[in-house]
Copies of this chain bind each other. A is one copy, B any other.
Amino acid sequence: MADEDDEGGEGGEGGGTGLPASLEMAWGLRERPGKGPRPTLTLPRIVETAVTLAAGEGMDAVSMGRVAKELGVSTMSLYRYVTAKEELYILMSDAGVGAPPALPPEADGWGWRELLSQWAFDQRAVLMANPWILRIPITGAPVSPNQLAWMERGLAALADTGLGEGEKISTIILIGGLVRNEATMAADMMDAIVKSGVSPDQVLGQYVRTLRLMTGPDTHPAVTRLLESDAFTGSDEPDFQFRFGLNRILDGLATRVASGRTDGDPGPGPGPGPRPGGV
């Protein structure tokens, strides 16, 4: 596993953005040099093909060879458009999330809470409609057009909260993480259901049954209480977990906004008072 030469790492020339060529392409910088033979493919077509494949057969089906076959070209030709598989993944992600949807007209009078809530639900809807996105590991900070558009929308929702910029971006990351986590768990569940061929209740039931065998009131009193409750059986509110988490965060944010505090102290560390954290 040799490492790159020096040069920071990322792509060589281009607009000096430090981004790989394919991403500069996605931003509309860098047009095609009119020199060589006309390309058979285009980046959008490659990405679209890969996305279709991912949507249809899951992310596991997306290999360079497979995408190339789908396009009717050789595997290596893809590397004329993308320098590594991971780069294709980034472009797929960007295409998959798309641009954030327009706000409904009545959003005019909304405050930050409604805007942020809508932002979270919109994002979640996109992820649940394209679960393969969740199988692409996040490699770094967002740099693609649509990802940044979502970030813009999120930050904009917090514009008039009086929060500091550091707090705003922290909030966006916090809620974005929540959305992704919850969507991932839902997708995992869905996968388990599909793979085992049984119903959601049965999957959950099997899990509860397994836990019952490993735990007991002596060693795991709190878990036992959980298992004895109807928390797993009562599936009346499928969104419960997501909505609960989101609303707790929004509540906490409301406290902060009302307090008029900006940056500075994020809040105490572990335990009561200032103590260095455990372990």
Where the two chains meet, the residues of A that have a C-beta atom closer than 8 Å to any C-beta of B are 1, 3-4, 6, 8-9, 15-19, 27, 60, 101, 104, 106-107, 110, 114, 117-118, 120-122, 124-126, 129, 137-141, 143, 145, 148-149, 151-152, 155-156, 158-159, 164-171, 173-174, 177-178, 180-182, 184-185, 188, 192, 195-198, 206-207, 209-211, 213-215, 219-223, 225-226, 229-231, 234, 237, 239-241, 243-253, 255-256, 266-272, 277-279
Chain B residues with CB under 8 A of A140: 188, 192
A213-B244 contact, Cβ under 8 Å, with A117-B271, A165-B229, A253-B252: no
**Closest Cβ of chain B: how far from A102's Cβ, in Å?**
9
Apart from A17-B214, A159-B222, A173-B241: 12 A-B pairs, beta carbons within 8 A = A19-B210, A107-B271, A117-B271, A121-B278, A148-B214, A165-B229, A177-B178, A178-B178, A243-B266, A247-B266, A248-B249, A251-B255
Copy count, this protein chain: 2
CB distance from A125 to the nearest CB of B (A): 4
Chain B residues with Cβ below 8 Å from A104 are 271, 278
* Chain B residues positioned under 8 Å from A249 (CB to CB): 248-249, 252
Chain B residues with CB under 8 A of A248: 171, 174, 249, 252-253, 255-256, 267
Q: What is the chain B residue whose CB lies nearest that of A176?
A: B181
